[in-house]
Chain A
Amino acid sequence: MIHWCYRIASLLFLFLLVACSSTAPRLDKMAPLPGNFTCRVAVLPFMGTGGYPRGAELFNKVFSTELVSAAAFQVVQEGDVLDLYRQLTIFPTQEPTLEQLKIIGSRLGVQLFIGGDVLRMVERRSGRQVVTELTVVLRLYDGRTGKLLWETYYKRRGKDYRAIMHFGRINTITGLARRMSKEIINLWLEQGMNQCSK
């Protein structure tokens, strides 16, 4: 009898653990967004690979695509951003300084920059299933001052999205990146980035 009680207690504990784990991106606001926000944003090259070949480039592509699809932003061409990196002799793997961010902001005429780090990116096979994991940190910078405004940390696994049996499960790292990007953008819009005046 006591043995069964222990089993039930441990199951309850496990359930509580799962129930308490965060399923939403964590947003830290360091400063408010600029008042005259006009939707023009630039996505800076992301840093880190998270252990996946060209992980930063992959997540950057996925995130930029989702940002344009959200139809709330006018995203500066990636080529224009990298042109400025070349002119200011900044390596894409390097974080621009405050001074450099100010120059990039004034040249591109953007109100916000989005930068980020890919901390962990995993896609591996386990039996018949594909295990995917992604941990990212995205940052919003003021386009005029280069100051950090918001920071978002998000960590998810493909199996977190499973509804029942194998349905809903995400089987590619791009799919997971896409889903997480959407959730982060939606959170930003909920938190006050939906001030576009087209």
Chain B
Amino acid sequence: MKFFRLIALALLLVAVFSPAAQARSLAIFPLLDLTKDANGVNFPLTGYLRRQAGKLGDKLISDKKIMAFMVRHRIRTLGRLDSQAIAEARKELGADLILLGTVCQLDRAPSAAVSMSLQLIRTSDGKTIWTTIRDLSQNDLQRLLALSEPKTLNDLLKVYCPMLLASFPREINTAGPARKGLSLSSIVLRPERPGQPVVCRVIISATSRIKPGSEASVQVGGRVYPATLNKEEYGVTASWPAQETAGTYQVTLVVKQPSGRRETAILGRYHVDSTPPSLVIHLVGKKLDGLVTFSRSLAIITTMPEPEPLDRWTIAVFDKDNEIIVDQEDAGQLPERINWNGYTSSGLPALDGVYLIKITAWDRAGLIASAEQKVSLRRTPPKISLKVEKKGRRLRLALADSVTTPVSFWWLRIYQDGGRVIKTASGDHFPADVVVDLPEHADGSRFELMLVARDVLGNRSRRQVKDLLALTEKAQAQQQHEIESQWLEDF
């Protein structure tokens, strides 16, 4: 009898103090390697970490099981898991703890360096209970006379890994506190146009799946609407008419379990909008004859005195016959600035004239706002007429512009044979007269004229006259006579 008692006591002691009885199951997921890619993987270091973690006395879950789990749940990103995947890992892998890690740095040369971060997650409540990050460089281990300094990355890892896991917690309450509240894996909240129903579909995650016999409802703006639980009771559907009064409404899901326990989760908010957006258009350009005028590019700036999110917007440009020459649209907010280069939507340059620019915007409730403004396009450069009169050695040039756009500046230069400048003149308006005194002994010389003018819109014209004296009335009459007589001879 005594012998049996001793055996029973020994068995009890073995059961209580055996390491297997206290071993926690640990799943080490493949390490994210940021040195390779935003989602790179480092299997060699994962294996190294597994071997080091194996020495801590925990029961490691095989890497094959972990890989199969990742494939089954389509986990494509490393270094992180969501709460649902953590709960599934507890259920399917039997993991008490999950170790996730990231390789932040891994330099081999010229000076080896390594840094990793680790995160230990308790699967019972999905909480991170321990984290560490350590960095080590060859330069950190410089010693006098360079004795026993690590030479390679492998030498460095031998020092680094024990350091990394030095603070790994030995005693953890793997049960943890109970998970509170509802955890939702998907929410669709679709507010339609005013007056139409708001639809809400929710999928409750595996971690907090509601029990059969539970009742669900949705609270919106102080009112309670019934919700439908589907057959498997992990999905909730509800629908209610959108409110008539403008404002923001919060949607809360309420689940009443058969035990009487009430759990709530905020699903989101939606707005009821009954005011159309306001839109103001500003055109940036020179004002001529009461209209903003441009030649190359027009900056159109739209502002909303009361900003609000927009669904879409369009911009249209109408010509004098009310035909649309530019029509563009886009979704979302209006850009801060739109530039019109004076071309039509088909890519042709628009003709000079007056155009109407109209911007229309729709807010998320479908309410419309529009703003319009007239604009003038003038691309014709200054057209300068030149009259030349010669009296003795004095030339008189009469300059005039036939285009109505004011001139910003003009300048001219007259060159004698060989490039000598004999006259320069400039001004900022037309008509203008320029008097030129020809140099002495210049009979038979040619005088070349270069004339440049720019209007206030940036349109520029350049005129070059190879023989200025040929423009005098006498020379032109003589030339005309020569042409006529030549024609008569040919005839």
Q: Which residues of A contact B (CB under 8 A)?
A: 53-54, 57-58, 61-62, 64-66, 68-69, 74-75, 77-80, 82-83, 87, 97, 99, 102-103, 106-107, 109, 125, 128-130, 166, 169, 171-175, 178
Contacts and interface: CB of A to CB of B under 8 A. Distances in A.
Given A74-B127, A99-B309, A171-B137, A65 B119 contact: yes
Contact of A172 (B77, B130, B135, B250): B135
Contacts of A62: 104, 117, 133
A106 B37 CA distance: 32
Contact of B266 (A54, A80, A87, A107): A107
A57 B186 contact: no
B131 interface: yes
A174 B135 contact: yes
Contact of B105 (A77, A99, A173): A173
A82 B77 CA distance: 11
Given A62-B104, A106-B268, 7 more contacts: A61-B104, A66-B131, A80-B82, A87-B187, A106-B267, A171-B140, A172-B113
Interface in B112-167: 113, 115, 117, 119, 121, 126-128, 130-133, 135-137, 139-140, 142
A155 to B, nearest CB: 20
Given A102-B269, A130-B137, A171-B140, A75 B105 contact: no
Contact of A65 (B85, B117, B142, B266): B117
Contact of B187 (A107, A130, A173, A175): A107
Given A65-B117, A130-B111, A175 B142 contact: no
B75 to A, nearest CB: 9
Given A65-B119, A65-B132, A77 B126 contact: yes
Given A61-B117, A77-B126, A166-B139, A66 B81 contact: no
A58 B34 contact: yes
Contacts of B81: 77, 79
B133 A87 contact: no
Given A65-B131, A69-B131, A74-B127, A171 B113 contact: yes
A77 B128 contact: yes
A172 B34 contact: no
A20 B242 CA distance: 60
Contacts of A99: 269, 309
Contact of B184 (A66, A107, A129, A166): A107
A175 B80 contact: no
B86 interface: yes
Contacts of A87: 186-187
A107 B186 CA distance: 11
A54 B140 CA distance: 24
27 contacts: A54-B37, A58-B105, A62-B104, A66-B131, A66-B133, A68-B130, A69-B132, A75-B128, A77-B80, A77-B82, A78-B80, A79-B85, A80-B83, A99-B269, A99-B309, A103-B268, A106-B267, A106-B268, A106-B269, A107-B184, A128-B139, A130-B111, A130-B113, A171-B137, A172-B135, A174-B104, A175-B115
A78 B86 CA distance: 12
Contacts of A65: 117, 119, 131-133
B131 A68 contact: yes
A129 B110 CA distance: 11
B32 to A, nearest CB: 8
Interface in B61-105: 77, 79-83, 85-86, 102, 104-105
Contacts of B85: 79
